[in-house]
Structure 1
Amino acid sequence: MTTDTAHRVNGATRADGTGAWAVLLPAGRFDAERLVHHDTLELTGLTDARPRPGDQVAVLADDPPRLVALGRVAAATGQRREDPDDPQSERAETPLVVTYTRRAFDEPVPADALTLDGPVTALDPDAFQELADRLGPPPQRRSWLVSLDLPIEADSPAEAVRLFWAYVQELGPRELPAFVSPSGDELAMQAFVLGTEANQDPEEDD
């Protein structure tokens, strides 16, 4: 694979021609990525150096700087027009698309040593690898039981289900407690709100 490296500012490439970058999540995006699973991260408004498809990406949250995910740049799908029915309309910006390869939103690692030039910063591949190694080996995947119980008043089962999904869409993970336990160990059930464990027993708050 040959890659034009002229666009890389203060960066370097690996032997295979791929580069390494740090991408800073926009304000407020960290919670959105932490609360709901996404396969990709799309960013717009990038006017300076841009990663190329296949480049490795360290996704960072700011204040304080911390590594929250790893990924690779996906191939661009081409510019889209603002109005697809109007061939004369201006072309919309093509976003930078990063496909996640590792997530650490629940347990981010410090990245204070990095100096960021803006939303996108070129990294030396060795610096990228050193940062990625801080995550350690990926945890073993296992089966979990996740449930959401809502008391709903309705005139029929079908109406109750419709109201259930309406509440889920309206309130979402920021307000509704989800209950999760390892498969086969329901006694270990925990409630989560806003992506973190939340006590649902009012007597324990006293």
Structure 2
Amino acid sequence: MTTDTAHRVNGASHADGTGTWAVLLPADRYDAERLVHHETLELTGLLTGPRPRPGDQVAVLVDAPPRLVALGRVAGPTTQRREDPDDPQSEPADGSLVVTYTRRSFDEPAPADALTLDGPVTALDPATFRALADRLGPPPERRSWLVSLDLPIEADSAAEAVRLFWSYVQELGPRELPAFVSPSGDELAMQAFVLGAEANQDPEEDD
């Protein structure tokens, strides 16, 4: 799976003018996007090279090795600066890109080893984009889950215990606190998750 040289420079589009692109997720953003649900992805500092337009389709990838983790559409820029900061009449140079997620697969990325990326943003021909998106397969069926977080807290009142609870949640977050999840109606299948992955919370099983 490769990109076409002409498309890298001039962009690629379907018959309706919708462009198709690959966007590389910065390494330090992968965990943040995987641990907490976000409706949009905002990337900044994209001041050079080809740029997607609002409505264009985007494949979001991580590198080393290349893997597809999400699909989305360009929502538009959120901030702008001027080409010449000292001239308020100069053309705007937008350095941000906002992508609205349409499909997420952060827990089960699809391999994209054959895809050549030119940088943070790479234009793809429509056939390459479709072939890449097809690797995710059909969306999994949604179901109801019970998610809980139990913390033993010493406090002088119920209200104070609740305040401390939320303080701990904000301070420690999904990187340190185990969340317990089970399918609705099947509590015996409960699993603990830390850092977005199943984690054994029974010390006796580690022996």
- TM-score (normalised: structure 1): 0.89
Structure 2 match to 1:174: 175
Is this contact kept in 1: 2:78–2:98, CA < 8 A?
Answer: no
Structure 1 match to 2:85: none
Shift of 1:92: 9.3
Is this contact kept in 2: 1:80–1:94, CA < 8 A?
Answer: yes
Structure 1 match to 2:25: 25
Going from structure 1 to structure 2, the CA distance change for 1:7 and 1:77 (only over 3 Å counts) comes to farther
Shift of 1:27: 1.9
Going from structure 1 to structure 2, the CA distance change for 1:61 and 1:150 (only over 3 Å counts) comes to same
d(CA) in 2 for partners of 1:61 and 1:135?
A: 15
1:141-156 superposed matches below 5 A: 141-156=142-157
The DSSP-based 3-state class of the residue aligned with 2:205 is: helix
Shift of 1:11: 3.6
Is this contact kept in 2: 1:7–1:49, CA < 8 A?
Answer: no
Q: Over aligned residues, Cα RMSD in angstroms?
A: 2.0
d(CA) in 1 for partners of 2:162 and 2:155?
A: 9
Deviation readout 1:69-108 (Å, 9 max, x if unpaired): 0000003345379xxxxxx8xx995520000000000000
d(CA) in 2 for partners of 1:93 and 1:74?
A: 13
Structure 1 match to 2:203: 202
d(CA) in 2 for partners of 1:92 and 1:15?
A: 28
Structure 2 match to 1:50: 51
Shift of 1:9: 1.5
The DSSP-based 3-state class of the residue aligned with 2:161 is: helix
- Which amino acid letter does the alignment assign opposite residue 29 of structure 1? R
d(CA) in 1 for partners of 2:51 and 2:11?
A: 12
Equivalent pairs counted in the alignment come to 193
- TM-score (normalised: structure 2): 0.88
1:1-206 superposed matches below 5 A: 9=9, 11-47=11-47, 48-77=49-78, 79=80, 94-206=95-207
Structure 1, unmatched stretches of 5+, are 1-5, 82-87
Shift of 1:49: 1.1
d(CA) in 2 for partners of 1:122 and 1:94?
A: 17
Shift of 1:24: 0.3
The DSSP-based 3-state class of the residue aligned with 1:184 is: coil
Shift of 1:28: 1.1
The DSSP-based 3-state class of the residue aligned with 2:139 is: coil
> What fraction of aligned residue pairs are identical, expressed as a percent?
85
The DSSP-based 3-state class of the residue aligned with 2:27 is: coil
d(CA) in 2 for partners of 1:65 and 1:174?
A: 24
